[in-house]
Amino acid sequence: MTSSLTTRLDRVLTTLPRAYPGPGGAVAVLRDGEVLVRHAWGWANAERRIAFTPRTLFRMCSITKQFTCGVLLDAFPDPSVLDGDVRARLPLLEQPAPGALQLCHNQSGLRDYWAVAMLQGSPVEAPFGDTEATRVIASTRTLQFTPGTRYSYVNQNFRLLSEIVQDRTGRSFAEHLRTGIFERAGMASAVLAADTRAMPDGTEGYEGTPERGFRAAENRVLWTGDAGLGASLDDMIAWERHIDATRDDADALYSRLSAPVQFADGAPAAYGFGLQRATELGRRVTGHGGALRGWRAHRMYVPSERVSVVVMFNHLSDAHEAAVDLLAAALDEDRLPPPPRTPAPAWFGAYVEPETGLAARIDTVPDGRARLRFGHSAEWIALQPDGSAGSASGSVRLRPADDGLWMDRPLENHSSRLRPNAGVPAQDVAGRYRCTELDAELTVTDAGDVLYGGFSGFLGQGRMELLEPIGPDVWALPCPRALDHTPPGDWTLAFQRGDAGTATSVELGCWLARRLCYMRLR
């Protein structure tokens, strides 16, 4: 390693603990299979004063998904032989079921079960294990799109895959991970840590900020193939070395996981086999993030440079941004500066996207950045000289045309003309609404000329939240906390009225769970 490279990496390592503050963390950078950085700081458990080290076990969360697909491909080279098993786990589904490969690629059309759990009234920190998961998944009656046509992130896709492999082979998913991947890659301490209440070595995840302080996060979810991996930094270094060592073998596991993926219409897909295919600093990368309340992680591999980066935080700082900081240092490149502030164009405002039924709100925030609220979380967009606007990652583009404003979402294989929704909604929509498909209810209450809404179902009674007006008969029900690492995003409530002009039903959804109809009870 040259002295200039050492200086650049050392500079980033010095700034990371304060740029991304929290109890502790660990990072690694590799090039050509050799370790350039292996560094940990802070506390794995601040109360017990357990230091964070490269050997500390960490909850890798959704980074598990690529390992689940690896186990699947190892046991069933042609995953389509499991299509019938997928169908069997969706006994009430009224449409053709997705296939196993569509689960691998997040093209299943299923609604995410963490999001649906909130509609079933689950308290934020309630237990959610095999019984609850099975009931939510098995009660599925409809899909939110035809399998293979769109992308939407769905955690239970990978839970289903791990359960199917386990049942078909008669061997536990944990054993498949150990013999099929961990032992081959030299991941000596990696385990299936399905119970999120505690890690075997006492490592904690934390919520909070330096200003308000940090406290141990409470999780009571049981994860399997969707997010159950527990691994140390040294384990992840072994995985990255294994990836680089087998890079030229087309039959190697990671080569198969990172192979090109398509939608049903032949369009290239940016997600497949539990891996995101993206571009960072102008290079093609494969990788994935992982998150749960109190935990953030990100790993990426840049094949053209043979560079790997791993970031692990036991707090809620942005692990992806930290990974790009380290990548820029390894490549001796500067990160792009933020776009200049630009006056908001006339087409900023509130819309409804017709295919999903979701609200799309475009505005600016106090720091001058432009914001789109449509998907899982707010997306930051930059205005372009041609009058359009888009995200730096290319995941979304807004473009005005003669017939209106269009939103292109290439990663989701989706483009549509947004329907304007300007105006103030009437407040006469209070009442109880029931979704037959979910056997669950939405309650909207007028509490002193202010509307609140909350969900209830077999998992309990969720808290009431202040509704946010969007436009005529369209409201947002915020979800600031959820079972999973982040909320599913604001729920769009689109009310429909009968001949008498009163609200008779509401279509409800978020990006993770769309197009659910609730009929008014009273």
Helix (H, G, I), strand (E, B) or coil at 80: helix
Instruction: For the chain, report the end-to-end CA distance as a whole number of angstroms.
Output: 71
Catalytic member of 65, 122, 258, 308:
65
Look-up of token digits 């992806």: 320
Q: Is 489 helix (H, G, I), strand (E, B) or coil?
A: coil
Cβ-proximal residues to 106 (8 Å cutoff; 6+ apart), any chain: 151, 152, 153, 154, 157, 271
Q: Are 298 and 320 in contact (CB under 8 A)?
A: yes
> Of the listed 4, 62, 391, 415, which one is catalytic?
62
Number of helices followed by number of strands (H, E) in the chain: 12, 34
Question: Is residue 185 within 8 Å of residue 28, measured between CB atoms?
Answer: no
| Bridge partners, residue 371, by sequence | 363, 380
Residue 244: its H or E element: helix 233-245
Contact 484, 114 (CB under 8 A): yes
Cα separation of 290 and 309, whole Å? 14
Is residue 456 part of the annotated active site? The answer reads no
Residue 62 designated active-site: yes
Alpha-carbon distances of 301 from 49, 258, 283, rounded to whole Å: 33, 10, 10
- Give the bridge partners for 208, in sequence order: 214
Return the active site residues.
62, 65
